[in-house]
Chains A and B, each alone.
Chain A
Amino acid sequence: NAGVTQTPKFQVLKTGQSMTLQCAQDMNHNSMYWYRQDPGMGLRLIYYSASEGTTDKGEVPNGYNVSRLNKREFSLRLESAAPSQTSVYFCASRDMTYEQYFGPGTRLTVT
């Protein structure tokens, strides 16, 4: 039981490049989330998926897209990376008691 896994762990991009962050959970949870963490700002919600086949914008969706590929996987795509997207990205899934389980994070630097 791996919980929530994320790939890659680290990534450096140049401005304008694209990439996809992968997330998978093996706990059979319906809801999944993408957050970004910046110093002094806590975690901010980018997108979420309440169930397979649905996605919704969170607090800071601009510059991102998501895909809920199936119940296990929820990916986050940066189409044209900007320095402002330098951050640590966390994926999470939620159980029926409302607890969210977090992955180890992806550290992204955009130069």
Chain B
Amino acid sequence: AQSVTQLDSQVPVFEEAPVELRCNYSSSVSVYLFWYVQYPNQGLQLLLKYLSGSTLVKGINGFEAEFNKSQTSFHLRKPSVHISDTAEYFCAVSAGSARQLTFGSGTQLTVLP
């Protein structure tokens, strides 16, 4: 079985500052890794994913994440955030025969003016 831990439930940050949202996972098999974003009262939208290859993955809206196998981490970063980045962010791992997703509990990113 796999599990995902998002280490921070809330992250406040000032506009134009950098941000890192942390994610650690555990799994006994190889996994695929994802970050999704959820804006208020909406469904989830994919930010980026790691399937294989380069460990640095670039996604939409200027976000990137680095897969670190030895530390079983997949932290999300953005060098300069905007007010519009305020949302909840979910890290997820995909494993199992149907590649079902296991989600972390989410990190609420609030960008302050």
Contact = CB atoms under 8 A, between A and B. Distances in A.
Interface in B39-57: 42-46, 49, 51
Given A33-B101, A98-B51, A105 B94 contact: no
Q: Place the interface of chain A in its size category.
A: 20 to 34
A105 B99 contact: no
Contacts of A105: 42-43
Interface in A31-90: 31, 33, 35, 40-45, 48, 50, 56, 58-59, 90
Interface of A: 4, 31, 33, 35, 40-45, 48, 50, 56, 58-59, 90, 92, 94, 97-100, 102-105
Contacts of A56: 98
Interface residues of B, number: 25
A102 B43 contact: yes
B100 A90 contact: no
Given A90-B44, A105-B43, A98 B94 contact: yes
Interface string B85-113: 00000100010011111111110000000
B30 interface: no
Give the 3 A-B residue pairs with the shortest CB-CB distance, closest first: A42-B103, A102-B43, A50-B98
Contacts of B102: 45, 59
Q: Which of B9, B36, B43 has the most CB of A within 10 A?
A: B43
